[in-house]
Amino acid sequence: MAMTVLSLTLNVSPLWAERSPDFIAEANCLATNIYFEARGEPIKGQMAVAMVTLNRVAAIDFPDSICEVVHQGKNKGKCQFSWYCDNKSDKLPDNKAANIALAVAITAMTTPIHDITSGALYFHTKTHKYSENVIEIGNHVFYGGS
């Protein structure tokens, strides 16, 4: 599968099967987060969600792995990503959107790209109002970064 995004090509590598189990688990966590947070967004919006997730992994105040970041807060009843605590199925029924989310996740994890969120650690839909500087991408605003 290949598609153009931001001057990149998203490819789910034929070497996918040769990746470590940890890489596969992390890519699946990131893809699931992208799917539930941004599957209706253009690729740029999906990549922005991936960037926020990866920015959190790199930030000192968040867990050190993608899966831990995505699953953060459930044991306290306050998930960082609402889909994870909504008591609905976390299966990805739309195969096309799931494959795109996986391609975005793998690209974000393996390709050095410009962070279009400028280091954002948070995002919400545009219905929320913020006084701080935000970056709008698709139907989301991204904020709280460097």
pLDDT digits (tens, 9 = 90+) for 13-39: 555 556 788 999 999 999 999 999 999
**Among candidate residues 144, 88, 114, 109, the one with its CA nearest the CA of residue 29:** 109
Question: Where are the domains positioned within the chain?
Answer: 2-11+19-114
pTM of the full predicted structure?
Answer: 0.79
Q: Using CA atoms, how far apart are residues 61 and 8, in angstroms rounded to an integer?
A: 30
What sections of 10-76 are H helices per DSSP? 21-38, 43-58, 66-71
pLDDT digits (tens, 9 = 90+) for 73-102: 876 667 888 888 888 888 888 889 999 999
Residue with the larger pLDDT of the pair 136 and 89: 89
The mean of the pLDDT values for the chain is 81
Average pLDDT over residues 126-138: 64
